[in-house]
């Protein structure tokens, strides 16, 4: 079951696209919580037929989210951090 295709816009590799992909990915891992997917499963979830550029953009977004403390990798699966879940609760209260 494919998820949103937000990861495909805009088409250039710009900072705006990077933020859009991070936003889409973070939204998905929060929405999926407590279910967790591997990075490869996340790529397939976000994009039914990912191009090489899509795969790189999603993996880069996951790395950026991990570096900023909003996602972590627990073994082979990616999950939102407590901070990301709490921010989601606050913003969606």
Residue showing tokens 């495909």: 8
Q: Where in the chain are the domains? A: 11-91
Structure tokens given for 37: 């997917």
Nearest of 69, 81, 78 to residue 38 by alpha carbon: 78
pTM summary value: 0.82
Whether pLDDT at 21 is above 90: yes
CATH class of 11-91: mainly alpha
Reported confidence tier of residue 12, pLDDT bands at 50, 70, 90: low
């Amino acid at each position: 079951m494919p998820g949103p295709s937000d990861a495909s816009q805009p088409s250039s590799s710009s900072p705006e696209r990077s933020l859009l992909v991070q936003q889409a990915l973070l939204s998905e891992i929060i929405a999926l919580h407590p279910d967790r997917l591997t990075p490869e499963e996340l790529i397939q979830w976000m994009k039914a037929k990912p191009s090489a550029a899509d795969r790189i953009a999603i993996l880069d977004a996951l790395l950026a989210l991990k570096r900023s403390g909003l996602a972590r990798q627990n073994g082979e699966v990616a999950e939102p951090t407590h901070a990301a879940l709490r921010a989601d609760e606050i913003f969606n209260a």
